[in-house]
Amino acid sequence: MSTKTIYGIYGDDEDLLKAVRSFNKEGIAIKEIYTPFPVHGLDKAMGLKKTRISDMAFFYGLYGTTLATTMTWFMMNHDWPQDIGGKPSFSWLENMPAFVPIMFELTVFCAAHLMSLTFLVRNKLYPGAKAQNPDPRTTDDKFLMEIESSDIDKVKEAFINTGAEEVTVRDLNIA
Amino acid sequence: MSHYESQVREPLIIGHKTYHDITEDIARPIENKSGKLWWFAFSIALVTFLYGLGCIAYTIGTGIGVWGINRTIGWAWDITNFVWWVGIGHAGTLISAVLLLFRQKWRMSINRSAEAMTIFAVVQAALFPVIHMGRPWVGYWVFPVPNNFGSFWVNFNSPLLWDVFAISTYFSVSVVFWYMGLIPDFAMIRDRAKKPFSKKIYGILSMGWGGKAKHWQRHEELSLVLAGLCTPLVFSVHTIVSFDFATSVIKGWHSTVYPPYFVAGAIFSGFAMVQTLLSVMRKVMHLEDYITRQHIELMNIVIVVTGGMVAVAYLTEFWVGWYSGSRYEDFTYFSPGAAVGPYWWAFWALIICNVLVPGLLWIRKVRRSFFWTFVISIVVNTGMWFERFDIIVINLSRDYIPSGWTMFMPTFVDVGIFIGTNGFFFVLFLLYARTFPAIAQAELKTILKSSGESYKKHHTEDDHHHEH
C-alpha cells in the first residue's frame, strides 16, 4: 500500500478542535492544519512546541542597545570629543542622559525588525512565494487537515466520524 | 458552548454573520469598481496634493524666506504641522498595540484603518523636517554615515537628531507591524481573486501565506511582542518630539510636563482623526455591522479621558507659570499674557476646541451620536492644531528681550503646503481603502462566536434552557 495525502475539510473551528483530539486518541498523526484565522488552543491540541521568536527578539533588542551605546561613545567621546553647548564629553557616562533616546529607539528598531525578519524566514514567506495552502477556501471559512497515511480507509472513516464536510485523497507528489 | 462572554457586553458584530459573510463584506470594496464619490474625493485630494507639491518646489527653489517665518519666529507652521501630523499618527499605534495588550476586542474592526492612518500621517509629518531645512539637499548629513570629512559625525545631544531616530523607527516599525497583520488578509484576497493580475499582485503581497498552525502560533507571538514594543515606542516618539521644545531654554517651552502631555494630546487628536475617517468609512464602505455605535462610543470615551489629561496639563502650565515667580513665565503659553496678548484668539480657540466642546462627550447621547461624533472630532483636530501653534508661536513671539518681540503671519506657501499634506494624506488613504482589506478579517473572525450579535443571542437562549 502506498502512502497518500488525505485532506479533510471542516466548516467550524470547534469541530476541528474536537477532531484533532479524537485523532490524537486514535494515534493518527496530523501532518498540517490550515485555518483562516488563529484557532485558540489548536497549537496545544496538536502538541506544537512554544515558539522561540520572542526569545530571539530579546537578543535582537540587546544588540540594538549595544549598537547605540558603542556608536554614541565612539562618535561623541572617542573620535571627536568636542564641547557642544557645554555638554561634558569627557566620558560616555557623563553625557549619558542625552543618549537615552537613541539607545531606546535602536533597541526597539532592532528587536522589531529582526524579529519580523525571523518570522518571515522561519515561515518561508517572501514576495513571490507560492501559496502554501492546498485549498483556497482555507483563507476564507474552511479548516483543512492534512494527513499522510497508507491506511486510507481508517483515516477516511475518522474524518467522516468527526464531521468533516469533504474528504479528498491525493498522491503525495501532486500535493 | 466553549465561548463564554458576559451578556453585559454589547455585541461587536451586528447581525447574523458567518465567517464567509465577513470575508465577503471585507473583500467587496476591493473587488468592485470605484464609485463616482470615490473618484470625486480622489480628484480633489490629488489636486490639493499637487498644489502642495508646487508650494514645496517653490520653497526649495526660491528659499525658506517665502514662508512667513522671521528672525524671531523661526519655527511656525512647519513644525506646528509636523507635530500635528505625528500626533494624529499615534492613535493608530495605540489602537493596534496598547488595546491589544489590554485584550480589547473592539479594536479588531478599527485597527487596520487606524494603522493605515498612522502610516499616512507619519509620511506627512516626515515631509516637514526635510522641507523646513534651509538646505534640504544636505539633509542626509543627519545620518551618522562614515564620510570623507575625516568621518565627521552628528551631534547626539540634539533632540532634532533624536527626532530622526524616533520618526524613522516609528515609521518603519509601524509599517512592519501593519504589514505582518495584512499578510493573512492579503492571502484571503489572493485566494478569491479571479483576474490574473490581481491574483499575481496579492500573491506577491501575501508572500505565500497559507495559515498553517505553526505559522499562526508564530504570528500571534509576533503580534504580541510587536505590540509590546510599539507601546513604549509610541510614548517615546511623541516624548522625543516634545523634547524639541522641552529641552530648550525658551520660557513656556522649558517644561517637564511636556512629554506625557504631548503624548496625551497625540492620542486625543489621533482618536479624533480616527473618528472623522471611520464615521465616513462605515457608511461609504457599508461596514456599519462591524464599526458600530459601540465602537464609536468607546473611542469617544478615550477622547474624553485623554482630553481630560490635556486639560489638566493646561491647568498645570497655568499654575506653574504663576507659581514659578518668574516674570518671563507670565507671557507663556496658558499664562495671563497668552490669554489677553496679541494671540488671544489662538489661545481661546484652543480652550474652546480642546476643553469645552469635547466636554460634551460626557453626555451619553452625544457620544453615541454619529453626527455629533463627526462634528466634535473635527473640532478637536482644529483645537489640537492650535495647541501646537500656540506652544510654538506664542512663546517665540514674546521672548526674553522685548526688542525682539514680533508677530507671525503665514504666507500662501505656508498654507499651501499644509493643505497639500492634507491632500496627500487623503490620496494615500483613499487608495488604501480601495485596495487593502480595511478590516483585519482574520482577527475579526476570532471574535465572531464570542461577540457576534446572533451568537450572543443564541447563548442567552441556551442559558434560559438550562435554568428550566
Q: Is residue A135 part of a domain?
A: no
Same domain for A112 and A62:
yes
Domain total for chain A? 2
Q: Which domain holds residue A101?
A: 52-123
All residues of chain B having their beta carbon less than 8 Å from the beta carbon of residue A58 are none
Q: Is residue A43 part of a domain?
A: no
pLDDT reported for residue A175: 45
Q: Is residue A151 part of a domain?
A: yes
A vs B: CB pairs below 8 A: 203
- pLDDT tens column, B237-278: 999 999 999 999 998 899 899 999 999 999 999 999 999 999
Indicate the pLDDT class of residue A87, thresholds 50, 70 and 90: very high
Distance from the Cα of B409 to chain A's closest Cα (Å) equals: 32
Mean pLDDT of chain A: 90
Query: Is B468's pLDDT higher than 60?
Result: no
CB of A129 less than 8 A from some CB of B? yes
Contacts 24+ apart (CB under 8 A), B310-314: B310/B261, B310/B264, B310/B265, B310/B268, B310/B354, B310/B355, B310/B387, B311/B354, B311/B355, B313/B257, B313/B260, B313/B261, B313/B264, B313/B265, B314/B351, B314/B354, B314/B355
The CA-atom distances, in angstroms, between A172 and each of A1, A4, A34 are 13, 5, 17
Strands (DSSP E) contained in chain A are 4-10, 32-34, 143-149, 166-171
Q: Is residue A133 part of a domain?
A: no
Mean pLDDT of chain B: 90
CB of A70 less than 8 A from some CB of B? no
Same domain for A145 and A106:
no
Which string of DSSP letters, residue by residue, matches B122-176? HHHHHHHHHHTSSSGGGGGGGS----TTTS----TT-HHHHHHHHHHHHHHHHHH
Pair B12, B451: CB distance under 8 Å? yes
ipTM: 0.93
Instruction: Please tell me which residue of chain B has the smallest CA distance to A131.
Output: B208
Instruction: For residues B44-69, give the mean pLDDT.
Output: 96
Same domain for A30 and A56:
no
Query: Is A108's pLDDT higher than 70?
Result: yes
Query: Is B460's pLDDT higher than 70?
Result: no
The structural domains of chain B, with segments of one domain joined by +, span 29-170+234-440
Q: Is residue A129 part of a domain?
A: no
More confident residue, B7 or B114: B114
Give the closest of B19, B213, B219 to A32, CB-based. Answer: B213
Same domain for A86 and A26:
no
Indicate the pLDDT class of residue B467, thresholds 50, 70 and 90: very low
- pLDDT tens column, B338-372: 888 899 999 999 999 999 999 999 999 999 999 99
B157 with A119: Cβ contact below 8 A: no
Q: Is residue A78 part of a domain?
A: yes
- CATH number, domain containing residue A11: 3.30.70.120
Query: Is B144's pLDDT higher than 90?
Result: yes
Give the closest of A38, A126, A133 to B220, CB-based. Answer: A38
Integer-rounded Cα Rg, in Å, for chain A is: 26
Q: Is residue A45 part of a domain?
A: no
Query: Is A160's pLDDT higher than 90?
Result: no
Same domain for A102 and A165:
no
Pair B189, B27: CB distance under 8 Å? yes
